[in-house]
A and B are shown apart, each in its own frame.
Chain A
Amino acid sequence: MYQLNKVDKKFPGVHALKAVDFTIGRGEIVGLVGENGAGKSTLMKVIYGAYQADGGTVTIDGTTVRFQSPRQAMEHGIGMVFQEQSLITNLTVMENIFLGFESQFVKFGIIDWKAMAAAARHQLSKVKLDIDPAMTTANLSFAQRQLVELAKVLTLEERVDGDLVILLDEPTSVLAREEVELLFKLVRELRTRASFIFVSHRMDEVLELSDRIYVMKDGEVVDVVDHDEADIDTIQHKMVGRDIDKEYYREQKQGPYDTNNVLVSFDKVSLAGRYSDISFDLHAGEVLCLVGTEGSGREPILRTIFGLETPTSGTVSLKGQQIRSFNAQTGVSMGVGYIPRERKVEGIVGGMNVYENMTLSQMQNYASGGVLNISRERELARQWIDRLSIKTPSVFKDCGGLSGGNQQKVVLAKWRSAGSDIILLDHPTRGLDIGAKEDVYDMVREMCDDGAGIILVADTLEEAIGLSHTILVLKDGEAQQVFHGQPGDKPSLYDLVHHMT
């Protein structure tokens, strides 16, 4: 029995956990859900010892404990299977499993590899993985690596008296559906050995697997639902704290798009190893959303449109003109604006100020003979600060010091002021708070009204559904299904998930 009582955690400016109570019994599987920023990861970090709580107590079987490090938590039977795979890929499977705990196999300063292999095989059998422990980890599939991670955590069984608590952080995000089934079956069998805390964005999976579900919002546990009473809608409403209504995604502002004006046209385009045979048209005023799991080919498609990847076959046309040489300069000159997910902060260059960031993609328009006309740059920045109501003390402010939402606005101003009308948005609302998200949704609608076309990779499926006119569902680089959604007549989450996985 592992218990948190009124656990509190504060960071400068953020009250991340507010008097959280959490209990997990022997052999239980407990789900943990919440939006980004609800406090899930902080809670997990407190549980496995990476953070120390500021207030409240942690008890195991009634005894109060306090972990200074994950290692101490492990000694009390708490193990973590990380979302980002934490195996070291150039080591062998067994080295990974016993990383940091090799001493049990050491005799006279030398590692007894045979003993380690045997022990590793024993661990792997717990997760029903039949591979050679001396294999290099890089050669395993993602699903296999996930199981190795689990096997690694299960070594705690031999080292620790008492019960195990294993945290699974988004374990299914890189797995195919069949692999997920296998993992769930395994977890259910392993209940005799350990209890599990299961964290996932995939609500249906959480419902399927968990005995109880903790719903978090703004650092608080807002509800604990039993498996039998759980229902996706209710939980989602509690996560958001209000209805995910049409207003939230500005559906009432979703206008029809111009079917005669094709901005981007993909005709049977393939990029070897990334995606194949993709066809779609993006029209002026349209939001087209690419939906799929990680690695389904969404990002390579964006990169192709922008010119960062050269397709192996098929034709790509921008504004009716077939593209033959793919590079970012061509993309920018054709009016493509790309807001990638891999951004240092939110798509701005930290250390550079507001106007420097805004003109980054269009410096040639503000320079003659390579010499910049800085007063014109400042003027542009002032205009857009007004137009998008960007909150910044001045145009000289280092963009790194702006809030995420304002940084996002600067990035959008950068592309829109340069006249870009094909906007590629990759997770534009990731890490933003609700208010800033709504600003981004407003901007999406405004850009459409101005005749821009938007290709979106949304942060959540709800966002994809709410924002887009057209949804292209991808799986393993292949188009699965196209949905057209008018306000009031949108595809459901289930429709999408059904084709995604």
Chain B
Amino acid sequence: MDGIVTRETLVKWAPLLVLLVLILFFAVMEPRFISVRNMARIAIASAPALMVAVGVTFIIIMGSIDLSMEGTVSVSAVVFAFAFLAMGGTVLSWAWLALPLALIVGAVIGLINGLVHVRLRIPSFMASLAMGFVGTGFALLLTGGDRIRIEDEVFRGLLTERWFGFPVMCYVALLFLFIAWFIQSRTTLGRNFYAVGGGEELAHASGLNVDRVRVMGFMLAGVFYAVGALLAVGRIGIAETATGNNFMFISITSVVVGGTALWGGIGGVWNTLIGVLIVNVIGNGMVVIGLPGYVQDGVLGLLVITAVVLSTDRKSVSFVK
């Protein structure tokens, strides 16, 4: 019995342990790694990815999967940029309305995603993948392949304004992380995500409207993708079709590496935070100690496999007992 508990605890804390070991490793290899400057660099790279990963965390807790993030991020970013420029081009004018508009666009795409999945009874994996392509295509249609520059000083302040060495966007991400944590642990919606992921039939037999929970989940995820899109635009000052690139791999990898189980019911947004940091620490650390980029991808791939093996074992442990 004791052995199992130890193992469970180990698996639970393994992601954090991995993160600390990685930081230690890179710090020993290259002391500049733990400078505030470099930490800020990691935080900046992590912030948009964290938002997208938090969004998909909810979906994965439900036992579904959402692969539409790249399309959703692109569309939200592009719509935001057009609206922002059209309404004055600075946050101090009516253009600030473009910010909530972007979130609404994210929610609407999530809504469509959820409805297609639930009403047409298409596996979430397929429905969201298809919606992602539609989104990317739509973003390209809107921009015609152009890049849209956002040069508003105030909006770019997300990156340029720094408090304690870290840009504002990191604090924004942190704020939304807390909102996500609140939703996860303190609201009926959050509880419902776990119930659906932990036992869908049972949730249904407890009178939960599982379909509604699903749709709400996809909407919520869409909102977080849009937040990610805004931070991504704030980071480079450009909105384009390619804004969404790479978010699928990064976010799913982060969620899994963080220890949220792909079959649902286990994990949460803190796991995702750790996961995102692990992925970005590896990315940054490899550059800092001078290893080529392709080694990174290999390491990340291995990490995903290790994480899944670890958490799968945990599942069978809880059944054997």
Q: Do A and B bind each other?
A: yes
Point out residues on A near B: beta carbons under 8 Å: 12, 306, 308, 328-329, 331-333, 338-340, 342-344, 347-352, 356, 360-361, 363-364, 367, 370-372, 374, 400-401, 414
B186 near A332 with CB under 8 A, answer no
Pair B202/A329 contact, Cβ less than 8 Å: no
Closest 6 CB pairs of A and B: A332-B207, A349-B198, A361-B206, A349-B199, A360-B206, A351-B265
Are A332's CB and B194's CB within 8 A?
Answer: no
Give CA–CA (A497, B97) in the complex, Å. Answer: 72
Q: Which residues of B contact A (CB under 8 A)?
A: 186-189, 191-192, 194-195, 198-199, 201-209, 265-266, 318, 320-321
- In the complex the two chains form, is B266's CB within 8 Å of A332's CB? no
| Residue in A closest to B194 when the chains form the complex, CB atoms | A352
A351-B265, A356-B191, A370-B189 in contact; A344/B204 too (CB < 8 A)?
no
Minimum CB–CB distance for B312 against chain A, Å: 15
User: B298 → chain A, closest Cβ, in Å?
Assistant: 33
> For A12, what are the chain B residues with a Cβ–Cβ distance below 8 Å?
320-321
- Which of A328, A343, A356, A360 has the largest count of B CB atoms less than 10 A from its CB? A360
Question: How far, in whole Å, are A329 and B191 apart by their CA atoms in the complex?
Answer: 17
Shortest distance between the CB of A380 and any CB in chain B (Å): 14
Q: Are B206 and A414 in contact (CB under 8 A)?
A: yes
B186 contacts A374, C-beta separation under 8 Å:
yes
Of B188, B202, B205, which is within 8 A of A370 by CB?
B188
Q: Indicate if the CB atoms of A351 and B202 lie closer than 8 Å.
A: no
Decide yes or no: A371 and B187 within 8 Å by CB, A344-B199, A349-B198, A400-B318 being known contacts.
yes
- B194-A351 in contact (CB<8A): yes
Q: How far is the CA of A340 from the CA of B202 in the complex (A)?
A: 8
A12 to B1, CA, bound (A): 10
Could you tell me if A351 and B209 are in contact, using CB atoms closer than 8 angstroms?
no
12 A-B pairs within 8 Å (CB atoms) are namely A12-B320, A332-B207, A343-B199, A344-B202, A349-B194, A350-B198, A351-B194, A351-B266, A352-B198, A361-B207, A372-B187, A401-B318
What is the predominant secondary structure among interface residues of chain B facing chain A? helix
Nearest-CB residue, chain A, relative to B202? A349
Question: Are B195 and A352 in contact, with the CB atoms below 8 A?
Answer: yes
- A329-B207, A329-B209, A351-B266 known; A364 vs B195 contact (CB < 8 Å): no
CB pair A349 B265 closer than 8 Å: yes
Supply 7 further A-B pairs (C-beta < 8 A) apart from A338-B205, A361-B207, A372-B191. Answer: A339-B205, A349-B195, A351-B266, A356-B194, A360-B191, A360-B202, A370-B188
Contacts of B201 in A (CB 8 A): 340, 342-344
Tell me whether A328 and B207 are in contact in the complex, defined as CB-CB below 8 angstroms, given that A363-B191, A372-B186 are known contacts. Answer: yes
How far is B204's CA from A144's CA once the two chains are assembled, in angstroms?
Answer: 35
Task: Give chain B residues whose Cβ lies under 8 Å from the Cβ of A331.
Answer: 207
Taking the closest CB of chain B, its distance from the CB of A375, in whole angstroms, is: 12
Which B residues are CB-close (under 8 A) to A339? 205
In the complex, which residue of chain A has the Cβ closest to the Cβ of B183? A370
A349-B195, A351-B194, A351-B265 known; A372+B205 contact, CB < 8 A: no
Name the residue among A308, A340, A352, A401 with the largest chain B CB count within 10 angstroms: A352
Complex Cα–Cα for A182 and B19 (A): 66
CA distance A145 to B203 in the complex (A): 35
Q: Is the beta-carbon distance between A351 and B198 smaller than 8 angstroms? A: yes
Q: Given the complex, which residues of B lie within 8 Å of A308, measured CB to CB?
A: 204-205
For B198, give the chain A residue with the smallest CB separation.
A349
With both beta carbons as reference points, the residue of chain B lying nearest to A359 in the complex is identified as B191
Q: How far is the CB of B207 from chain A (nearest CB, A)?
A: 3
In the complex, A340→B265 CA distance in Å?
Answer: 20
Q: Which residues of A contact B194 (CB under 8 A)?
A: 349, 351-352, 356
